[in-house]
Amino acid sequence: MNILITSVGRRTQLLTYFKEELNGQGNLVATDNSELAPALYVADKHYIVPRITDPEYINILLNICKEEKVVAIFSLIDPELSIISKHASLFENIGVKPIVSPFDVCELWLDKYKTQSFCLDNGFNYAKTYNNLNSFQDAILKRKISYPVFIKPQKGSASLNINKANNFEEANLIFNSSQEMIIQEYLAGQELGVDVYIDFVSKKVISIFIKEKIAMRAGETDKSKSIKSDKLTSIIEQLVVKAGLVGPVDIDIFEQNGEFYISEINPRFGGGYLHAYECGVNFPKFIIQNLIGNINTPTIGEYEENVYMMKHDTLTIRKQ
């Protein structure tokens, strides 16, 4: 059972977990567009590929799948999810299972403004979000929102190009610095991260892991503590089912005055998933079981609370 993980970057520990779960029963293949992506060198085989915007990108992945006898493929970055999902039938035609949600679902969660519409239409709290200055100014005047606010790309990922504005002059300058920006309410509560797995065979939620974020680094959870919340677990179960998500999902939440607000939903492994794995929440095993046609047994909430995760540096040396 050979599995291909694309755009692996620095996610060395996640790939290590997959190798451990494969346990010699298959090879782990990795791709990235940089030969200095350290996670490449954890895999059994790796390939340097063009950027995901290259017209030949999908054909290159298909050829790698054929060459390496790959049975499943998934990406670790948001912009590539839609690309793989859009071409899912091409992979399926050669016996490769894309570990990804449907195309329209990937597109929905990539777009932060559409995410707001979905959440509000379905009864989930979401940070107030505006995609033009006029509606934002009107909201300020009506005291529906106040400074500071966050301004970020409507279809951004990895917390890139996010800025805080403390007044209209700053908001105007940042908003007009790039195209397709949004202005979002600043939520001052506790940030939480939720790792969810929806079984590919049964389409049921089988695992939910909640962590309290203590520190962030480069857009990823750097330090966190495992917690439990029956209320949030119930909200997440309803949310992912209504959204049509499958496989691994990463959700960012803010808890403010006893209420939970959806911040972002990423239909992929989150950077903080490592914490869940070390607490026994084994998504790689779930994926492998699904690939051989087995339904995973639900294990929602079956992990220990008050377990801390602390990421730290290591290194990889490569000689030419």
| pLDDT score of 158 | 55
Tokens of 290: 């699904």
Instruction: Name residues whose C-beta falls within 8 Å of residue 219's C-beta, 6 or more positions apart in sequence.
Output: 158, 159, 160, 271
3-state secondary structure of 18: helix
Q: Are 234 and 161 found together in one domain?
A: no
Q: Which residues contact 107 (CB under 8 A, 6 or more apart)?
A: 82, 114
β-strand partners of 187: none
The reported pLDDT for the residue numbered 161 is 72
Minimal CA–CA distance to 96: which of 119, 63, 136? 63
pLDDT tens per residue across span 90-126: 999 999 999 999 999 999 999 989 999 999 999 999 9
Residue of 247, 239, 240, 202 whose CA lies nearest to 88: 247
What CATH number is associated with residue 294? 3.30.470.20
pLDDT tens profile 155-173: 866 556 789 999 999 999 9
Q: Which tens digit of pLDDT belongs to each residue from 116-143?
A: 999 999 999 999 999 999 999 999 999 9
Please give the chain's pLDDT, 320 residues, in tens: 999 999 999 999 999 999 999 998 999 999 999 999 999 999 999 999 999 999 999 999 999 999 999 999 999 999 999 999 999 999 999 999 999 999 999 999 999 899 999 999 999 999 999 999 999 999 999 999 999 999 999 886 655 678 999 999 999 999 998 888 999 999 888 999 999 999 999 999 999 999 999 998 877 889 999 999 999 999 999 999 999 999 999 999 999 989 999 988 999 999 999 999 999 999 999 999 999 999 999 999 999 999 999 999 888 888 87
**What confidence score (pLDDT) does residue 40 get?**
98
**DSSP run (H or E) holding 75:** strand 70-75
The number of distinct structural domains making up the chain is 3
Q: Cα(210)–Cα(225) distance, rounded to whole angstroms?
A: 9
Measured CA to CA, the distance from residue 259 to residue 274 in angstroms comes to 26
User: How far apart (Å, rounded) are the C-alpha atoms in residues 271 and 230?
Assistant: 24
For residues 177 and 245, membership in a common domain is answered with: no
The per-residue pLDDT for 86 is: 97
User: Does 320 reside within a domain?
Assistant: no
The whole-number pLDDT of residue 157 equals 64
> According to DSSP H, which parts of the chain are helical?
12-22, 57-68, 78-86, 88-92, 103-110, 112-121, 133-141, 168-175, 230-243, 273-278, 283-291
**Domain closes at, from 100, 120, 149:** 100
The answer on 208 and 180 residing in a single domain is no
Exposure string (b/e) for 225-244, b if CB count within 10 Å is 16 or more?
ebeebeebbebbbebbeebe
Whether residue 116 is contained in a domain is answered as no
d(CA 68, CA 60): 12
Domain identity same for 273 and 167: no
| Residue at 90 is within a domain | yes
194 lies in the same domain as 164: no
Residues 200 and 305 in one domain: yes
Q: What is the DSSP letter of 33?
A: S
Which tokens go with 307? 């377990």
Q: State which residues form the domain around 27.
A: 2-100
Q: The tokens 């519409």 sit on which residue?
A: 117
Q: Are residues 217 and 256 in the same domain?
A: yes
